[in-house]
Structure 1
Amino acid sequence: MAKFRMERVNEEIKKALSSCIQNDLKDSRITGLITVTRVETSQDFKNAKVYLSVFDKHKQEVFEVLKKSTGKMKRAISQNVKIRFVPEIDLKLDDSIEYSFHIDEILRKTNKED
């Protein structure tokens, strides 16, 4: 039962953060496509690892700006998710989507050669 609750909370936090990044963060340095790929909260819901995928030429700069905006993200969680504690946010850069595009391109090249 606890695992089901944690998954629900993770999804609600993911929705709140996605909405916050798309609608509330008004920094001109935040460009490109930003996706919250997954959220992993701790058992006590006091910490959350948030994995972001950033598609932009200046990916690292955009990620650093997002790291500085965690206060607004926490406020979005507190307003949209009904939990006792608002977790501390630890942003992580998720390169899995880019890696899958890279593998897909390699496979296409090998199929063209055959």
Structure 2
Amino acid sequence: MFVDSKAQRKKKLEHFLHQEIAKVLQNILYFERGAENMRVTVMEVYASKDLRKVNVFLSTSLPEVFEVIRQKSGKIRHILAEQVNMRRIPELYFLPWKY
């Protein structure tokens, strides 16, 4: 029972982070100069067992989107920290979605 509740908690957190990261990315790309027309979709979010690291899988047609997002990863994490009530905001790793 205890293991199942931890897995459920992790799943809920992944779903919640998926939604929040998508909102933050949308705002970052909308206001970033030269990135207004860049579109990105958050496909999957996987948290590590200790919830300190999160892999965010993104789908986009433009490879330069990843460069913008990687440059802004600290800002993305900071904005996320302001919006989310968590003791520790996980380290975010943005990766391309493979079909």
Please tell me the TM-score bracket, short chain as reference: 0.7 to 0.9
More helix by share: 1
TM superposition score normalised by structure 1: 0.73
Contact 2:17–2:45 (8 Å) recurs in 1: yes
For residue 21 of structure 1, report the CA deviation from its aligned partner. 1.1
| Structure 1: gaps of 5 or more residues | 97-114
Cα distance in structure 1, aligned partners of 2:55 and 2:26:
19
Count of residues paired in the alignment = 93
RMSD: 1.5
Q: Name the structure 1 match of 2:10.
A: 6
Specify the alignment match of 1:45 in structure 2: 51
Whichever of the two has the greater Rg, that structure is 1
Task: Give ranges in structure 2 of 5+ residues lacking alignment.
Answer: none
Aligned sequence identity (%) = 25
How is 1:1-114 mapped onto 2 (pairs within 5 angstroms)? 1-25=5-29, 26-30=31-35, 31-55=37-61, 59-96=62-99
Deviations 1:39-68 (A, max 9, x none): 11111111110101113xxx2212111111
